[in-house]
Amino acid sequence: MQAWTVEQPGPVRSGPLRRTELPAPRPGSGEVRVRVRVCGVCRTDLHLAEGDLAPRRPGVVPGHEVVGVVDELGPGASRFAIDDRIGIAWLRHTCGACRFCLRGSENLCTSPRFTGWDADGGYAEYAVVDECYAYPLPEVFDDEQAAPLLCAGIIGYRALRRAAVPPGGRLGIYGFGGSAHLAAQVAIFEGATVHVLTRAAHARQLALELGTASAADPTDGPPEPLDAAIVFTPAGETVPLALAACDAGATVAVAGIHLSDIPSLRYTEHLFHERELCSVTANTRADGTEFLEIAARIPIRVRAVPYPFEHADRALDDLAAGRLTGAAVLRAANERAVGAP
């Protein structure tokens, strides 16, 4: 099968991705094999390719927003049938026995595995997954719309919950890419007033089109104090800006898996009056199920930017350079994305 692998991590312009031929995987016990139709391009893929996340093994196939159809069942697999359309996401295994799993926090499992990091992901024609960690996908979304929901959407949803926006509250969103434009729609649907702070003019325009109350540069700040904020940008210098814009009792959630150093914080300006700063780590399967249900109910508008399979490296380069408005999606080799019924 055709696939892209991370051979030597480095700046995306140096070509850390290599297009190659690999044997098609076979599903093991309790697993299903998926013929990939599309795979979303996530900022985590960029961090992996550039070495911000050290690869867990050489030559791994990135991609963890995988949409495809089941084409082979492993021994004992019975949750899905051949030709079912399903999604493969970032979280692919938890131990079920550590203190975090036992208390319902499997996102903090002490021995997790992740798609496109520990095991091959969706920048390929085929991928396998434990059926317990795959998602049935709402029919309201076509393949290209569904792909970004599987990480950008799920992580944005968990970040929104971690930010603890009060009913009718004022939420600031810093950065407005693939994840943020989905989380913003959930927040608006739930009654929040959303202010977007991002440097890119095209992203500010998209934010306003999606119904946010305002969109400005982060250095300009929101037009009113915030009850909560989510930092989606990987720039650590954004964190003090978000804290300073918050009202008393607000929470700032940092949604990225990688963040540059945060500058020094001044206690009275940034943290006093019970402001809180928290991180977001992976997700639980319950997060994924809840998010996909609410996404279909809204229904969320997904800004997907399709790329041919052979241009995966260009998609990462565009992501790194901030040229994307929305979420990049790779069309799998020899596949044509299928629309919603």
The pLDDT of residue 338 is: 47
Q: What percent of the chain clears pLDDT 70, i.e. is strictly above it?
A: 98
Dump pLDDT digits (tens) for 142-153.
999 999 999 999
| Confidence at 335, pLDDT banded by 50, 70, 90 | low
- Above 90 in pLDDT, residue 211? yes
- The C-alpha atoms of residue 334 and residue 86 are separated, in whole angstroms, by 19
The pLDDT of residue 333 is: 73
- Predicted TM-score (pTM) of the model is 0.93
- Above 80 in pLDDT, residue 44? yes
Contact 324, 318 (CB under 8 A): yes
The pLDDT of residue 91 is: 98
- Above 60 in pLDDT, residue 9? yes
Q: What mean pLDDT is reported for the chain?
A: 95
| Confidence at 129, pLDDT banded by 50, 70, 90 | very high
Q: Which CATH superfamily is domain 154-279 in?
A: NAD(P)-binding Rossmann-like Domain (3.40.50.720)
The pair of three-digit structure tokens given for residue 3, joined into one six-digit string? 């696939």
Fill in the amino acid letter for 19. R
Longest dimension (CA), the chain: 59
SS3 168: coil
The pair of three-digit structure tokens given for residue 30, joined into one six-digit string? 């309790």
Other C-beta atoms within 10 Å of 274: how many? Answer: 9
- Above 50 in pLDDT, residue 312? yes
Position of tokens 């979304």? 141
φ/ψ of 210, rounded to 5, equals -85, 0
Q: Where are the domains of the chain?
A: 2-151+303-331, 154-279
282-312 exposure pattern, b = at least 16 Cβ within 10 A, e = fewer: bbbbebbebbbebbeeeebebbbbebebeeb
Contact 140, 296 (CB under 8 A): yes
Contact 310, 153 (CB under 8 A): no
Dump pLDDT digits (tens) for 54-72.
888 899 999 999 999 999 9
The pLDDT of residue 341 is: 33
Position of tokens 């599903």? 27
CATH of domain 2-151+303-331: 3.90.180.10
DSSP string of 232-269, one letter each residue: -SS-TTHHHHHHHTEEEEEEEEE--S--PPPPPPPIII
- Above 50 in pLDDT, residue 38? yes
The pLDDT of residue 128 is: 98
| Confidence at 334, pLDDT banded by 50, 70, 90 | low
The pLDDT of residue 224 is: 98
If you average pLDDT over residues 176-181, what whole number do you get? 93
Contact 98, 110 (CB under 8 A): yes
Dump pLDDT digits (tens) for 234-291.
999 999 999 999 999 999 999 988 899 999 999 999 999 999 999 999 999 999 999 9
